[in-house]
Amino acid sequence: MNDMATESEGHQEQDGMRIIIVGGGIAGLATSIALRSPNRTITVLERSRMLKETGALISLQPNASKIVLSWGLAPFLEPCEPIVDTAFRMVDASGKLVRQLDLDFARFGADRVVYHRQDLHTALLKAATSTDLPGRPVEIRTASRVTACDPDEGTVTIDGGETLDADIIIGADGIHSAVREAVVGEPREAVPTGTSAYRMLLPVEALSGLKIPKDVLDITQTVTTMVVGHDRRVIMGPGRGGKVFGIVALVPDEHMREKTPASDSWVTQGSPSALLRAFEARHERAGLIQQYSREQARPGTDVGSNRIKLDPAQFMEYNCNYSGAKDWVAQKDLGSAVEKLSVSGS
């Protein structure tokens, strides 16, 4: 028995930890990069052939920019022609500028950066499989749709019947997640927010003839502009080095005129107690973010009025200054200590 145990421990030390990530989108690839290590074998299973990532522009807030730069991804992101967003502007339905939030590197410690989603996905794919970053390159298996997952056995089954096992299985397979269903024990449908988005990308030369006052919209400025109406919003700004202009139009679901297919998607020992506290912190913070998101889904003005009721400044300050779960826990502990000192001093 002792000999077998010694042999097993030596085998595990040699092979290291095996991780399977189900889903090769932005979330799955980013997770694979974050987990790279010399003693970890990481496999990403992606159902598509990963020929291209659809979508429009996507922004990384300063807190996210700090993370990707800490991973050493700058050389992979530079070819994407990222746009550094310098401000967030809110305009009412009459074209009047109501609020402008300047996005300053010195203020947040990083920039808010806009990418084309396809470019960002390509950069993450190259980084995940690169030999230039620390740790083992990630193995990407395309056309590998996961149809079942056994959390107790640590296995996944892919289309065709092949079963793969790992020490850790991570689900990043979207709203129709097979991993989520296996973990919670039942199918879970996506919960509608009540708002749908039309997304479009236009070449900037197609907008050169627009007769719009530059104080309302200047397509040459590296800013994001949101036009706020009562129950509809338009968010727009440049991308790909200023070559394209992205527009997102938010519309209440009840006013949608589209039918969307249901199939679319939408190494040191750690302390368990510290892990639980970190998850509690993230849960609390996620709750605050979700609350803000719900607030933003409400009507932006009263009926018949152009006066905007939304103010994203507090959330921007809170979110962009976020530096991760460890810092969040440390700040909470510091606040609790100060509160106890105040009570004892009184």
**What are 2-58's pLDDT values in tens digits?**
343 334 344 444 468 999 999 999 999 999 999 999 999 999 999 988 766 666 899
pLDDT at 148 over 80: yes
Q: What is the pLDDT of residues 188-210, one digit of tens each?
A: 887 777 887 788 888 999 988 88
Q: In what order do the strands lie in the sheet with 233-239?
A: 97-102, 87-92, 224-228, 233-239, 244-252, 195-203
What confidence score (pLDDT) does residue 51 get?
63
* Chain mean position to CA 69: 15
What confidence score (pLDDT) does residue 328 get?
61
Residue 301's identity, in one-letter code, is T
Identify the CA nearest to 69 among candidates 29, 110, 39, 108.
110
What confidence score (pLDDT) does residue 277 get?
42
The percentage of the chain sitting over the pLDDT mark of 90, rounded to a whole number, equals 47
Distance CA 318, CA 190 (A): 27
Q: Which residue has the higher pLDDT, 254 or 259?
A: 254
* Full-model pTM: 0.75
Q: What is the pLDDT of residues 58-111, one digit of tens each?
A: 999 999 999 999 999 999 999 999 999 999 999 988 888 999 999 988 888 999
pLDDT band at 312 (very low <50, low <70, confident <90, very high): low
Q: Which residue has the higher pLDDT, 268 or 169?
A: 169
What confidence score (pLDDT) does residue 276 get?
38
**For range 314-328, the mean pLDDT:** 64
pLDDT at 268 over 90: no
User: Worst-scoring range by mean pLDDT, 44-58, 73-87, 127-141, 305-319?
Assistant: 305-319
Within 10 A of 321 (CB to CB), how many other CB atoms are there?
Answer: 13
Q: What is the pLDDT of residues 161-172, one digit of tens each?
A: 999 999 999 999
Residue 278 phi/psi, 5° resolution? -65, -40
Class of domain 2-259+274-341: alpha beta
Q: Which residue has the higher pLDDT, 287 or 246?
A: 246
Q: What is the 3-state secondary structure (H, E, C) of the chain?
A: CHHHHHHHHHHHHHHCEEEEEECCCHHHHHHHHHHCCCCEEEEEECCCCCCCCCCCEEEECHHHHHHHHHCCCHHHHHHHCCEEECEEEEEECCCCEEEEEECCHHHHCCCEEEEEHHHHHHHHHHHHHCCCCCCCCCEEECCCCEEEEECCCCEEEECCCCEEECCEEEECCCCCCHHHHHHHCCCCCCCCCCEEEEEEEEEHHHHCCCCCCCCCCCCCCCCEEEEECCCCEEEEEEEHHHCEEEEEEEEEHHHCCCCCCCCCCCCCCCCHHHHHHHHHHHHHHHHHHHHHHHHHHCCCCCCCCCCCCCCCHHHHHHHHCCCCHHHHHHHHHHHHHHHHHHHHHC
Handedness of CA 201, 206, 212, 217 (dihedral sign): positive
What confidence score (pLDDT) does residue 255 get?
57
**What are the CA-CA distances from residue 67 to residues 168, 252, 327, 344 (Å)?**
22, 33, 13, 39
Q: What does the domain layout of the chain look like in residue ranges? A: 2-259+274-341
pLDDT at 258 over 70: no
